[in-house]
Structure formats: structure tokens, C-alpha cells
Amino acid sequence: YLHVALLFWQQVILCHCTLDDLRVDGRSCEDYRYVEVETDVVSNTSGSARVKLGHTDILVGIKAEIGRPKLDRPNKGCLEFFVDCSANATPEFEGRGGEELGTEIANALYRVYDNERSVDLKSLCITPMEHCWILYTDVLLLQCDGNLFDAISLAIKAALLTPSKIPKVQMMEDEEGTTEIELSDDPFDCVRLNTENVPCIVTLCKIGQRHVVDATLQEKACSVASLLVSVTSKGTITCVRKIGGGSLDPESIYEMIETGKRVGKALHAPLQDILNKEESLGKSREKVGFIG
């Protein structure tokens, strides 16, 4: 989908340098680029976050709405994902160009997040088989510079970790049998989601004999295949997926899983610290927004 044309000699040099643990911008094979996370950027949502990972810019907005639960999961809520690859990011996405990439990312997100293990779906249920909270998660790609999955997963985790404004509701049945929604009078009486098991995705790209974390578009052009590993803060691996058109040696898969688990586990603690700090600043927090 996103092509960066590299000449053959450029690819060779990049592969050789990666063998010596040296990448184009000076990072080591397991280093991430500079990440900026900001939450509560959009006021009409129940939770939102913006993540800038190098030049990749992702905006996630979560809106909670009441709907019918799925038939095979009557006492659980659910998450619905939609990924918008608009022409803002690159002109290749004009019209329906970005739809293929968007569905690929959305399908991967369903597999990673829409299950009981990652998010406490039972707490989203209001009345079994009748009403539940559906979290409509919309992801906007503002800029693409490689490593979309990692940035999107960081943004989703940040958006879920903020005090989501999901109000406490009760369903009341009056004499005629019609159900009414009763909301508490206190606007701050909210349900806070239990997000300790929400995983983070780490994408590892195989370049030559080694694998790198957080590949830029140039490095992606030199790699034949990537492995997507989603890791929770406890170190359990919730999803592994091979993407790309090449094949991998079983030994490299084992190594990549180990690296993915190590890097992924280490991602959660700093993110939690930063978000706690942001929350504690409260009203005095400086909002950077989109211009800063």
C-alpha cells in the first residue's frame, strides 16, 4: 500500500547496518522513536487520544452508545472499530484507495481487542440480551510514516485509560412495559473501565538476518515479512500474526516472539506513568492540541 522506492544498493546497506545494530536514525534494533501521547483532545467523545510516533500521527475517538448485545454474547458489551485512511495522509488514499488498508487494520484490531480477555466486556452490559454499551472506536490516520499498528494500539490504550465518560445508567420498566433509561443526576458519576489487561501491539520487521522494532517506511521496504505481537502488561501474548508477502524461519519466529514480549511488556509502565501524571495535572494541564 504505501510504497517507498529504495534502490537496490540502499537496501543492501540498510540490511548490513542492521546486522551491526545500527539504524538510519541512530537507534538500536529495539528502540522506539520519540512518542508523544495526548488524551482528551476531542470533547464530544467518551475518550480520545492522539499519538505521534515519529511522523506517524494517529487520532482515536471512542464514543459509547447503547445498543443490543450480540446474540452469542448476551451479557457482554462489545467494541466496534473503524479505521479511516483518508487522503490527508497520502494522496494514494484518495477515494477508495485507503479502504483495503483500513479493513486490514480494523480486522486485526477486532482480533486483538474485541474479546473478554483484553477489555472487561461484562462491565459494559446493562440488561442481558436487551441493552449494552457498544464502544465505537474510530481511528483516523493523519500521517503515515510506518508502524501504524503500534501507534494505533498506544492510542487505543490511552483513550481507554482516560476517565471515560460512560455514565451509569439503569433501565426502568414502567407500568405499560416500556423501558426507560434513567441517568443519575451527577454528571461525574461515571463507569470507569478496567483496563489492566488491554494489550499493546509490537510490530517486528525482519530485515536480513535481524529484526527491528518500530520500522520506518524505508526499513519496511527492505523487509520481506513482519510479525505483529500483542502483549499485555503481565507479559501474556494475546495475538500473533504474520503480515507481508514473505516467509519466516521458525527460529526467527521464536526470537521475534521473545523480543516482542520483552519490548511490549516494557511499553505499558511508561504509558501508565505519563497518563497518571496527565490526569493529576487536571485543569492546570497545558493542552497542546493540533497546532503545537
Q: What is the binding site for another protein (CB under 8 A)? A: 3, 5, 71-72, 103-104, 106-108, 110-112, 115, 117, 225, 227, 235-250, 253-254, 257-258, 261
CB of 47 to another protein, least distance (A): 23
- Whether the CB-CB separation of 170 and 182 falls below 8 Å is answered with yes
Residue owning grid cell 496527565: 278
Q: Which long-range contacts (CB under 8 A, 24 or more apart) does 95-99 make?
A: 98/141
Using the minimum distance from each CB to another protein, give the nearer residue, 246 or 270.
246
CB of 146 to another protein, least distance (A): 18
Using the minimum distance from each CB to another protein, give the nearer residue, 36 or 116.
116
CA atoms within 13 A on the CB side of 252: 17
CB of 258 to another protein, least distance (A): 7
CB of 192 to another protein, least distance (A): 22
Using the minimum distance from each CB to another protein, give the nearer residue, 142 or 248.
248
- What whole-number distance in Å separates Cα of residue 149 and Cα of residue 147? 6
- Of 126, 121, 204, the C-alpha closest to 160 is 121
Using the minimum distance from each CB to another protein, give the nearer residue, 114 or 219.
114
Using the minimum distance from each CB to another protein, give the nearer residue, 103 or 209.
103
- CA torsion, ordered 98, 96, 1, 246, to nearest 10 deg: 100
- What whole-number distance in Å separates Cα of residue 186 and Cα of residue 208? 58
CB of 247 to another protein, least distance (A): 4
Residues ≥6 apart with Cβ < 8 Å to 273: none
CB of 129 to another protein, least distance (A): 10
Residue ranges with strand state E in 144-236:
166-167, 169-173, 179-183, 190-191, 200-207, 210-213, 225-231
Using the minimum distance from each CB to another protein, give the nearer residue, 5 or 291.
5
